[in-house]
Amino acid sequence: MSSVIRPYGDTTGDGMVQVSFTLPIAHDKKAEGAALQLAAKMGLDPAMLVHAKQMGDGFTFFVVYGRVNHLVELDKVQVVERDFPLLSAKEVNTAVKQKMRRKLSVVGATIGTDAHTVGIDAILNVKGIAGEKGLEYYRELKVVNLGAQVTVPDLVEAARKEKADAVLVSQVVTQRDAHLHNTREMSAAFREAMPAAKRPLLIVGGPRFDELMAGDLGVDRVFGRGTTPSEVASYLVHRLITQKAATAAQEKAVK
């Protein structure tokens, strides 16, 4: 496969793309002209306006279709690949029971002013998502879902009380990078409150997170959109059981 590709619209490699955006202007001919001007400055040539609709007082939503000359260099694309095996619920339960000899404790929440629990509920609640049951379904996992708008101090205290092995935080509200600020505040609070040896895994997820930013945000893992409960459960086993066992074996061999 070629390492350089172009967008596909009507024919292979024609460079056609479709973009949508909102401008703070009422819908009229001038607004449509402004949308096309913006599209041209974005590199769409020619740009065609295919949809425009006023959204409330003084805002218009646009969809523009056009050609770009940009190329995608696949060799330079960076992503976070799954570096652990995907386990079934039975395999997760067996690993936890045999290796930890206690239930794996998980605390979850949305933090700050974020009132959207759809993300954390999809991972934690029994009903789950996309045909998969959430972590509450796993009999060897003890799950505490704190719900929405939890303060960082309350989250740290709950993690301490539950002796959490992992803390899962979902962030959907992203205006003014609220999800990034909240995550950095959380990771700093856990570093201050607990020594590294007793600190739980810190895991965040949401549709606008960049999975490459885990280190910058001070967390152990970032999960993006489309993440399923089995992926999270498998990751917990990988980090808390498999990886720890491998590290212990290496240290023993060195001695």
Which pLDDT band holds residue 249 (cuts at 50, 70, 90)? low
Name the average pLDDT for the chain.
Answer: 93
Q: Identify the sign of the CA torsion 223, 157, 184, 172.
A: positive
CA end-to-end distance (rounded Å), the chain: 47
Dist. CA 12–CA 151, nearest whole Å: 50
Q: Residues 15-55: pLDDT tens digits?
A: 999 999 999 999 999 999 999 999 999 999 999 999 999 99
How far is the CA of 140 from the CAs of 63, 93, 102, in angstroms? Answer: 48, 5, 8
pLDDT tens per residue across span 219-243: 999 999 889 999 999 999 999 998 7
At 225, give phi and psi (nearest 5°).
Answer: -65, 150
| Cα dihedral 41, 43, 48, 51 sign | negative
Q: Give Cβ neighbours of residue 35 (< 8 Å, ≥ 6 apart).
A: 21, 23, 49, 52, 60, 62, 64
**What is the share, in percent, of the chain residues with pLDDT greater than 70?**
96
| Residue 192 neighbours by CB under 8 Å, 6+ apart | none
Mean pLDDT value of segment 136-153: 97
Residue listed under structure tokens 């590294």: 196
Q: Give the pLDDT of residue 93.
A: 98
127 among known catalytic residues: yes
Q: 30, 53, 90, 127: which is the annotated catalytic residue?
A: 127
What pTM was estimated for this model as a whole? 0.80
Beta strands (DSSP E) in 98-251 are 104-110, 141-145, 166-170, 201-205, 221-223
